[in-house]
Every structure is written in structure tokens, then in C-alpha cells.
């Protein structure tokens, strides 16, 4: 009996009947283990090895830090700075949302968390300026996805753990794509806003209000400088940086901005516990699934399927990208990265593709998954805030998907710029 086919059939069937993805992966893994006559203890051993890497502690700490910074008032300071910077132009509040999401992405590490933190402030304000509610929510959803690209990024950490890549290298590689994508989102927001006459009613830009806002929000602005600067200067590791971020968020929230109360601190810990519990459950079940994928030599089979296209690495990357986007409509980002990195990473590295570039490419396709139904998490978060249906916001986000598609094409056809910063700081790697 063909183990991989049975595993795939069980996985697809269980998802189709509504079984949650971690359970579906676990059931499919049990089927594969039984066919291969491997002891079921593989499941427990895989879960243990999945939880063992010390850098995994980085994820709950960054989630907690992002929550403390949001609850402590940093998100409001970042929105104010963005408003003083771009708020007077057509689509001003839309541009403010994108810029504020870029700032907050450097604090939270999570796309849905960035959408919730900034969208809860800017979406109601945009609706008051007669933005279409579906477009207001779409801006927050699309810009919030930057939280998964601009470092520190939880998805990049997951990819690093699965692929044995350097977290600092991946963080550095995510900076330029994240900033460029943010600028492209601003262009689309401006064009749509200008055509529909949204915004442009704020005060004209002058330096004094901006400098005042920067001074008032200096503790919020300094947070990513402290976190990322400490990593790249070698003062502390990414895991230690996450601990520093938690302390910084607590200190600023309690003693500087004084937005944190015991109730809010407890809410931040509760949210973090729920998120990391979900992540660990997904990680444990899908790690065994990924190990079986390797055991059944599926990567070699995939390599054989693409043998005729080896002269065209760009075509293989495009096909993988289309596959990832389709899968991302139905599969959450974490299991998608864990399962399919084991399948496709050996293939792309055999073609000379830098694993760091493939990590950025993978996360970029996951960001599109955040913005496509039926699983699109950012869409659900923004739809709840803007009080529109998921169908409406799915239509509103369509023009904002254009920058993401363009970024995929840039990653495929012009890739050297992505690895420029990690190569500059850590030296170019020889394959």
C-alpha cells in the first residue's frame, strides 16, 4: 500500500469533514506510521524534538511583548506619529494605518496581532471619514500582514527552526521586502482613496507636530531599535532579545505611559498562553507529519517530478508559489511552513536557491493566505472590527493583493536584493 498517498488522502478527507488541521495532521501521521510499521512512539518523540529547540521560547516572549506594548499604549503613540507624517494627504488615515502597521510589525511579530492593534484604532476613524467599511478593514488586514515579514517575525522563527537557518539572517532579509511592500501598499491605498475622495481633511504636514509626536512616542519608537539593534550588534541573541522586549514593554507600560493595569497584564498573559498553546499543538502534530514526509522520500519524488524543469528555477519557484497560495487558502501558516518546507527546501536548494530567500518567499505566500478566504485570519480580525461580512472585506482587499503578487514576482526574478543585508552583515555564504 502506498503510504504517502494514504497519508494525503486521510489528511484531505479529515480536513474536508471539518477536523481541525492539527488533528487532521495527527490522524494522517498515525495512518502513515501504521503503514510503515513504525512504533507509535514516533508521535511522542517528534513532539518532544519539536518543543526542544531553545529558540522556540522566542515566539511566546515576542507575542507577550507585543501584547504588553499594545495594552500599554504604544500602538496609540505609533498611530499619532504616522498621522503627523502622512495624515494630511488623500487617503490620509489609510496611509496612517499602513505606516503604523509597519511600526507595530517591528514590535509584535504577528500579522493578526498587528491588524488588531492598529485596526482597532484606525478602522473606526476611517469609517468616520466616510471610507467604505470594507476598504477600511481591508487596509488594516493587508498592512497587518506585514507583521509576519518585518522582523521580529514569528513565521520566520518557525521557518528557521524547521530549516536550521539563522534567525538573525532571516530577520535581516525580511527588512527590505517588508519596507518595500509597505510602500507599495501605500501607493495602492492612495490611488483608491484619491479615486473615491477619501480623507485629505487633516492638517497640512509641518515638522513641528511630527517632532512633537516623535518626542512623545520616543519610547515606542526606541523599542524596535533596542530589540533589533541588540540582535545585530551581538549584544544578545534573538531569544534574549525577546526577553528584553517583554521587560521593556512592562517597564514602559507600567511606569512611562502607565497604560498597563493588573487586569491588562493578566489579559496579555492569557492571550499569549492561548496563542502559544495553539502553536505548540500544531508544531507537535505536524513535526511528525513532516518527518514521515522525509522518511517516505517524498522530497526525492518531488525532485523527480521537476527534473524536466531544472533549467528554469524561476518556473519551479512560480509553481511552488501558486501551490503555496492555493494551500494557504485552506491551511494555517504554521503547519504550511512545517510540512511543505520539508518537501520543497531540498528541491530549491538543489537548484541553487538561497534557503534564506526561500524563507522570505515562503512567508510572503503565507501573508497572502492571511488575506484570502476561507482561512484568512487577518480578514476575520478586520471584518470583526469594521463590522462587515467576510465576503465584503474579501472584495475590499482585492486591490491590496496586487503588491503581494508583485513582491512574489520580484522575489522570483530579482532575488539578490533580498539577501543583500544578511550578506553585508554576516558575509556572503558559499554553497
pLDDT tens string 241-260:
889 999 999 999 999 988 88
> Rounded mean pLDDT of 102-116?
83
Q: How far is CA 364 from the centre of its chain?
A: 8
How open is the CA angle 405-126-365, to the nearest 5 degrees?
Answer: 20
Q: Helical H runs in 164-312?
A: 167-196, 207-216, 218-232, 238-251, 262-295, 298-305
Distance from first CA to last CA of the chain, Å, rounded? Answer: 38
Strand partners, 215: none
For 119-183, give the DSSP string.
Answer: HHHHHHHHHHTT--HHHHHHHHHHHHGGGGTSSS-HHHHHHHHHHT--HHHHHHHHHHHHHHHHH
Q: How far is CA 381 from the centre of its chain?
A: 14
- Contact (Cβ atoms closer than 8 angstroms) between residue 152 and residue 227: yes
pLDDT in the model for residue 201: 57
> Rounded mean pLDDT of 369-382?
82
Tens digit of pLDDT for each residue in 392-405?
898 999 999 999 99
pLDDT in the model for residue 359: 95
pLDDT band, very low/low/confident/very high, at 233 (cuts 50, 70, 90): confident
Q: How far is CA 169 from the centre of its chain?
A: 16
Q: Is the pLDDT of residue 156 over 80?
A: yes
Q: Is the pLDDT of residue 375 over 80?
A: no
Q: Is the pLDDT of residue 187 over 90?
A: yes
> Rounded mean pLDDT of 167-195?
92
pLDDT in the model for residue 177: 94
Q: Which CA distances in Å does 252 have to 65, 255, 259?
A: 11, 5, 9
Q: What is the pTM of this model?
A: 0.86
> Rounded mean pLDDT of 103-116?
82
Tell me the domain boundaries of the chain: 1-38, 54-426
Q: Report which of residues 431 and 169 the model is more confident about.
A: 169
pLDDT in the model for residue 402: 94
Percent of the chain clearing pLDDT 90 (strictly above): 22
pLDDT in the model for residue 138: 93
pLDDT in the model for residue 25: 75
Amino acid at each position: 500500500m502506498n503510504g504517502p498517498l494514504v497519508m494525503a488522502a486521510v489528511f484531505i478527507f479529515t480536513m474536508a469533514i471539518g477536523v481541525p488541521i492539527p488533528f487532521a495532521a495527527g490522524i494522517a501521521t498515525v495512518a502513515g506510521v501504521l503503514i510503515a510499521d513504525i512504533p507509535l512512539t514516533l508521535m511522542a518523540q517528534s513532539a518532544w524534538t519539536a518543543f526542544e529547540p531553545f529558540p522556540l521560547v522566542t515566539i511566546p516572549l515576542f507575542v507577550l511583548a507585543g501584547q504588553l506594548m499594545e495594552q500599554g499604549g504604544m500602538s496609540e503613540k505609533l498611530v499619532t506619529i504616522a498621522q503627523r507624517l502622512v495624515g494630511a494627504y488623500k487617503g490620509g488615515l489609510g496611509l496612517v494605518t499602513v505606516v503604523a502597521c509597519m511600526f507595530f510589525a517591528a514590535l509584535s511579530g504577528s500579522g493578526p496581532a498587528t491588524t488588531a492593534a492598529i485596526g482597532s484604532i484606525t478602522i473606526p476613524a476611517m469609517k468616520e471619514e466616510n471610507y467604505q467599511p470594507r476598504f477600511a478593514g481591508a487596509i488594516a488586514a493587508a498592512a497587518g500582514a506585514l507583521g509576519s515579514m518585518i522582523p521580529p517575525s514569528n513565521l520566520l522563527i518557525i521557518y528557521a527552526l524547521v530549516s536550521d537557518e539563522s534567525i538573525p539572517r532571516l530577520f535581516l532579509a525580511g527588512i527590505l521586502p517588508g519596507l518595500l511592500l509597505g510602500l507599495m501598499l501605500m501607493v495602492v491605498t492612495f490611488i483608491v482613496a484619491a479615486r473615491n475622495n477619501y480623507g485629505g481633511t487633516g492638517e497640512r504636514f509641518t515638522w513641528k507636530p511630527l517632532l512633537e509626536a516623535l518626542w512623545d512616542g520616543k519610547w515606542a519608537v526606541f523599542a524596535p531599535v533596542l530589540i533589533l539593534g541588540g540582535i545585530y550588534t551581538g549584544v544578545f541573541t534573538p531569544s534574549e532579545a525577546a526577553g528584553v522586549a517583554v521587560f521593556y514593554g512592562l517597564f514602559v507600560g507600567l511606569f512611562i505611559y502607565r497604560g498597563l493595569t493588573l487586569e491588562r497584564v493578566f489579559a496579555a498573559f492569557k492571550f499569549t498562553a492561548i496563542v502559544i498553546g495553539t502553536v505548540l499543538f500544531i508544531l507537535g502534530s505536524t513535526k511528525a507529519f513532516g518527518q514521515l514526509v522525509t522518511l517516505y522520500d517524498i522530497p526525492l519524488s518531488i525532485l523527480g517530478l521537476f527534473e524536466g524543469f531544472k533549467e528554469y528555477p524561476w518556473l519551479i519557484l512560480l509553481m511552488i508559489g501558486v501551490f503555496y497560495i492555493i494551500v494557504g487558502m485552506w491551511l494555517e501558516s504554521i503547519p504550511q511552513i512545517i510540512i511543505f518546507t520539508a518537501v520543497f527546501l531540498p528541491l530549491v536548494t538543489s537548484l541553487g536557491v538561497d534557503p534564506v530567500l526561500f524563507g522570505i518567499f515562503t512567508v510572503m505566500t503565507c501573508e497572502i493566505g492571511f488575506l484570502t478566504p476561507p482561512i484568512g485570519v487577518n480578514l476575520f480580525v478586520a471584518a470583526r472590527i469594521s463590522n462587515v461580512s467576510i465576503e465584503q472585506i474579501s472584495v475590499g482587499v482585492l486591490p491590496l493583493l496586487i503588491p503581494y503578487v508583485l513582491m512574489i514576482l520580484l522575489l522570483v526574478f530579482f532575488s539578490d536584493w533580498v539577501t543583500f543585508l544578511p550578506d553585508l552583515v554576516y558575509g556572503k555564504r558559499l554553497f
